[in-house]
């Protein structure tokens, strides 16, 4: 039972970060598209392992950065130069991890023949290409607003529609 409670608390922490941190939402969207496009590259098991480790390191460091910021905000309500240094260091760790992730991505996805295959696939499956292009809009909305704000706006629109439909 204790382990289930631990997993539940961990999930709450991950969900909190996604709901409240724009940078975490940016990382999750990029990770989603990277994983989708990875299928075109016929990656080996080892390359997938490196890809998942890279993605998880960026997401994990973003969560650690968020927790450090929360602890500092809890301990210090006024400006504190040492607190700023701690926050900057935590953010720097995420930045370095993200830069390394891009470098690893370039190394893994350097097979230019796969890009030609991808282009041919989307030329043949135009509807999937259109869906891919249109998926950018909800992704940007997710990054900008977050799931909570999207939920509230959706509920407001539904209530407004119900009000006008019932008239």
Contacts of 108 (CB under 8 A, 6+ apart): 38, 41, 43, 47, 50, 51
Catalytic residues: 62
| Residues 108, 126 contacting (CB under 8 angstroms) | no
Q: How many CB atoms lie within 10 A of CB 120?
A: 11
The phi, psi pair for 60, rounded to 5°, reads: -65, -45
> Cβ atoms within 10 A of the Cβ of 118, count?
15
């Amino acid at each position: 039972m204790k382990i289930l409670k631990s997993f539940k608390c961990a999930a709450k922490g991950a969900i909190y970060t996604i709901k409240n941190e724009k940078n975490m939402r940016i990382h999750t969207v990029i990770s989603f598209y990277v994983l989708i496009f990875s299928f075109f590259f016929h990656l080996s098991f080892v390359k997938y392992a490196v890809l998942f480790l890279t993605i998880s390191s960026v997401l994990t460091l973003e969560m650690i950065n968020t927790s450090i910021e929360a602890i500092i905000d809890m301990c210090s309500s006024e400006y504190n130069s040492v607190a700023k240094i701690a926050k900057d260091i935590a953010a720097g760790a995420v930045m370095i991890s993200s830069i390394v992730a891009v470098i690893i991505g370039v190394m893994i996805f350097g097979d230019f023949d796969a890009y030609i295959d991808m282009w041919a696939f989307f030329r043949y499956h135009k509807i999937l290409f259109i869906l891919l292009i249109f998926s950018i809009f909800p992704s940007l909305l997710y990054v900008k607003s977050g799931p909570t704000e999207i939920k509230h706006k959706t509920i407001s629109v539904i209530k407004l529609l119900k009000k006008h439909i019932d008239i």
